[in-house]
Amino acid sequence: MPKFAANLSMLFAELPFLERFEAARMAGFDTVEILFPYDVPAREILEALSHNNLGLALINNPPPNYAGGQRGFAAVPDGQERFRYDFKRALRYVEVLGADLLHIMSGAASGPQARATFLENLNWATQYAPKQRLTIEPINNVDMPGYFLNSFDLAAEILDEVAAPNLALQFDTYHAYRIDGDVSACWGRHSERVGHIQIGGLPDRHEPAGGPFDYPNFFRQLDASGYAGYVSAEYNPVGRTAAGLGWLSPRPL
């Protein structure tokens, strides 16, 4: 089976945030990801990770938490100065927490100028932090209206133009389904660029079981391909998180 991680921004949400780390460890996870950790002091998160012997796969850029604000702005024209300032802030969290990946969010924008801005910011970020692994993720325009990076083909073009060894594709099966309709075909076209995977049930982003996509077969494909990254559970549990983790079998809980 692949290496699984628990997205603590969505899983175990029935618990206070800092109690979710222990719950993830008790459920059998050894790695977690956090979308926006910036509302909690980094040292408190580090203590929770260390106490439960958990690794941190990924966090999102930009800080702070996007509640009520923009969900990223790397492609927003004339926002380069703000992007660089907040990218450096995010890197400080990455360094304290030991996060493997930093996901750069494009934000809502459109047109040639937005594309040029996104390329400029990504080129700068990959060169400013050459040892930090970075990702970009296509997000569907139903969940995030107006989001610039709303196509896997566009993401592939951007990755090829930047051509940085520390920048990879973040492949979310839920967004692939919403954007392309055929997750398997989308994976087939873009798997070589993928550095991180997120999964959720289709079509409603609950537990990754049943529905129109064969997750057990997908996991077998990942094993056969030698994929070495994490597969992060990023979904909204139907009930209490632990009760819905049967999809992890035969992985012991």
Length in residues, the chain: 253
pLDDT for position 65:
58
Do 8 and 34 contact (CB within 8 A), yes or no? yes
3-state secondary structure 89-110: HHHHHHHHHCCCEEEECECECC
Domains and CATH numbers, the chain: 3-248 (3.20.20.150)
pLDDT tens digits for 102-153? 999 999 999 999 999 999 999 999 999 999 999 999 999 999 999 999 999 9
pLDDT for position 252:
40
Q: Within 10 Å of residue 181's Cβ, how many Cβ atoms?
A: 10
pLDDT for position 63:
73
Which residues neighbour 175 within 8 Å (Cβ) at sequence distance 6 or greater? 137, 138, 139, 140, 143
Pick the catalytic residue: 137, 157, 192, 207?
137
Which residues neighbour 201 within 8 Å (Cβ) at sequence distance 6 or greater? 174, 207, 208, 209, 210, 211, 235
Low-confidence ranges of the chain (pLDDT < 70): 64-69, 250-253
Count of alpha carbons within 13 angstroms of residue 23, beta-carbon side: 20
The question of whether 234 is a catalytic residue gets the answer yes
pLDDT for position 207:
97
Which residues neighbour 215 within 8 Å (Cβ) at sequence distance 6 or greater? 199, 208, 209, 247
pLDDT for position 165:
98
Chain-centroid distance of CA 154 in Å reads 18
Which residues neighbour 29 within 8 Å (Cβ) at sequence distance 6 or greater? 4, 5, 6, 54
pLDDT for position 251:
47
pLDDT for position 66:
53
- DSSP H or E segment with residue 196: strand 194-199
Q: From its phi and psi, is residue 163 left (phi > 0), alpha (psi between -120 and 50) or beta?
A: left
Judge residue 155's burial from the number of C-beta atoms within 10 Å of its C-beta, 0-12 exposed, 13-18 middle, 19 or more buried: buried
Pick the catalytic residue: 14, 19, 22, 234?
234
The question of whether 81 is a catalytic residue gets the answer no
pLDDT for position 69:
62
Residue in the block written with tokens 């991180």: 196
